[in-house]
Structure 1
């Protein structure tokens, strides 16, 4: 039986990214927070949908365009109803879409805080001497890989670097200095723990 424990980590930002907008009330560049509500405007058969953001200092509003001049018949009735009712899951999906938000606002402020949902795919924690971590990202985050691994596995970043130097860490797709780079969706991390005295504790942390 394989001594490798395979675990999928689904990583989600804990705090939604905030656009940096020139606030015409404050007179400078300010972060705007998501207000949790959509604004739906109908002009004849054309529909506009915005997610409302507000300045953290003065509450001035800014509209994050989701749909623009879209023909009503091209929008599924259930989706339109979700916009009109401020469906929380739909708000979250758009609020955490850092790439789209950056495309609209130009600059965004991202928090490194994340949550990790762990799913055991294969192997037995009590027998494992190696870890294979499959990373899936729900949203964008500036968090570096070494900080994620350190926090979730209970290891110092210097020890992770030492494991990497000893070729006990491998990455797929392979990349130089992967530990110091922001998380990438689909990255697979393999850690050989056969020579580590606290192997059992590390393996346990990987799946809880």
Structure 2
């Protein structure tokens, strides 16, 4: 099927993911945040690198493994210098990498993820802020954030969740998810805003 317009969006986290784990200081499961600091330890011919997380209540720390018993020459010099200088960009990259957390076997706190939705091809909508029949919206969630699909689509279309549900039920909107590619596809098949003023 051909579409009048293909409008792409990206979902990007505003901050590093927080994690949930047992805290020895608090004596219970608490939230730890990314300190944007690395710990580097050279032991003979091997190097260990950790990203330091900290309990938001008592400030106890927990080190998440970046490299373990690694040969120095296997790390790019620029990257290694980033660990030593506590590069914020590098800390953010690890702090938003789901595979990094899976490798460390820690639980991400998905309940309060802060994110922004950016429109990639903004020029298409400079003079027309409305969506029309024949539009295809592609929402890229490359960070694999666990956010409700209806919440994301409602935000983009400026609809309430109940309005979205009604439009889906009537076939005016068709929402599909491509889980492997972390995408949401929204097909507009009719008039969205006929019964209200935006």
Give the TM-score normalised by structure 2. Answer: 0.83
CA–CA separation in structure 2 for the residues paired with 1:150 and 1:75: 43
In the alignment, structure 1 residue 197 sits paired with structure 2 residue 198: no
Runs of 4+ in 1 over 6 A off after TM superposition: none
Residue 23 of structure 2 corresponds to which residue in structure 1? 23
In the alignment, structure 1 residue 139 sits paired with structure 2 residue 136: no
CA–CA separation in structure 1 for the residues paired with 2:108 and 2:13: 14
Deviations 1:70-115 (CA, angstroms, capped at 9, x unpaired): 1111111111111111111111010111342144143221224320
CA–CA separation in structure 1 for the residues paired with 2:173 and 2:107: 34
Deviation at 1:123, TM superposition (A): 5.5
Q: How does 1:68-147 map to 2 (within 5 A)?
A: 68-110=68-110, 111-120=112-121, 126=128, 128-147=132-151
Residue 156 of structure 1 corresponds to which residue in structure 2? 160
Pick from 162, 166, 173: which aligns with 1:169? 173
Deviations 1:29-52 (CA, angstroms, capped at 9, x unpaired): 111111111111111221111100
| RMSD, aligned CA | 2.9
CA–CA separation in structure 2 for the residues paired with 1:50 and 1:189: 40
* Residues 195 and 80 of structure 1, relative CA distance in 2, 3 Å threshold: closer
* Residues 200 and 11 of structure 1, relative CA distance in 2, 3 Å threshold: farther
Q: How does 1:27-46 map to 2 (within 5 A)?
A: 27-46=27-46
Give ranges in structure 2 of 5+ residues lacking alignment.
none
* Residues 194 and 25 of structure 1, relative CA distance in 2, 3 Å threshold: closer
CA–CA separation in structure 1 for the residues paired with 2:185 and 2:3: 17
Whether the 8 Å contact between 1:4 and 1:130 is mirrored in structure 2 is: yes
Whether the 8 Å contact between 1:51 and 1:66 is mirrored in structure 2 is: yes
Whether the 8 Å contact between 1:5 and 1:122 is mirrored in structure 2 is: no
Give the TM-score normalised by structure 1. Answer: 0.80
Give ranges in structure 1 of 5+ residues lacking alignment.
176-183, 202-208
**How many residues are aligned here?**
193
Whether the 8 Å contact between 1:193 and 1:199 is mirrored in structure 2 is: no
Whether the 8 Å contact between 1:21 and 1:105 is mirrored in structure 2 is: no
